Structure 1
């Protein structure tokens, strides 16, 4: 889980009575549970995404939890599909990062700052106060620790998996990744003690990783703007997202297809041929809380004008959507 460089720096800060922050934008002990005999992955019945394994949660310990709708079940002893006992947890989350620190450095005092540890009133302030008073050596957390902290004894920040979020099918995924990496990196070196930032990544040559490592905002901005210009994404075009939801996927797909044909007719009638229809397609998270989700994205100089005054039915409309997921 930790590179030799990160392990060495953790040992250094502990020897010098300094502090470190380990960042991973994933909660839990493991990101999915998988049967090694039949390949079955335990998923949420309402969202159809893998359940995350938590050793500790507010609902119960050793639970599988859906991070979309909150569905919770016990960790089974055997595979629900083939009854094999060879089920195992895979993937890394903040709980497993904390467990690894404690295994490698038993003397280290750790705090974890994520959704599970901050649900009680005042929990944020309690954790921050404890860490500020040096009642812990290593703070492990998600993006909630990325900004607004001034901690002079923090001389090490480690991004355990800096690639998280980079491959999401969203035009703003790289912007968000760069933003959170530079913010969390800024927690180190805020005193004369100096600081070091270590980004663990499978894509060291990726322009986001390179720019974040150099804290090069201008370089990232130039590269990102060039990609968006060539691909026709904001700020060089406007987006409008139409989301369809329903209890069965065929009815949701049919509603999306019907409106797509209507929109094509409106484009032809209005002469707004610079407006492009992307989709209809299932959303990245195709089902949430038992509802299926499809979407259409309109891209062009002014897609809002095309739909103004039209009867769209029961459709969620987002102008300049912050996410396409």
Structure 2
């Protein structure tokens, strides 16, 4: 994947995503541990959680951001692998009986079903630690200050002020009545902050000015919300086979979502508005950010 690729249609975005996913898979396969003895079950579980599935959208955003800011591809691949470790750890923990209690993920049994609850918890813990180990390594960037900025940004995006805080709100939503403002905040934390890190990572590695980094952050938040609305729509309109995971669970649990609050047509319209709003944040980059414009359109039209 290089910066001279400028997709003009959703199918080209999917082709670029597939190419990026293959490259990230190779790096993840190399970076994930292969332990021996009693610990082997842990490394096997980590590899089960990460390899061989998923859209790899967040790694694709990292690679596209790196292209935009002229960052070496090898460095970007390591950051892409780190964000995927965080994402996969979150899925492993979200699927646990104490959380969302799912038994299907990416078209195969969830980790705690394939192994057990304790192994799933430990595998998630280890994947989170591995992400920061990857970022801290000199191969990720020659400048230790840049590596520290990457670590700080990902820690914020993944922690109480980001993804984990959003998951706490998501659990509360099972017992509390959330209005559209609370739902929006929930998804900005749970989904949007990791999107923001993915889109900003190229600016961090490329030592870009604050104006351009802020533009990517604003873009990512709008795309993250559009992505989540599309996810909510898929939850009510797709089958488990199409989605590769259980569907209809939010409705069955009585949990408020964009779709339950807005209805399907208004939700779909709002996703489109957010995508176009995200695109306007990219004006500072001219045509160099066309891949991000097409990503914004892709996320609202995807079918899985």
TM-score normalised per structure 2: 0.27
Q: Which structure has the larger Rg? A: 1
More strand per residue: 1 or 2?
1
Q: Determine which structure has greater relative contact order: mean sequence separation of CA pairs < 8 Å that are 6+ residues apart, divided by chain length.
A: 2
More helix per residue: 1 or 2?
2
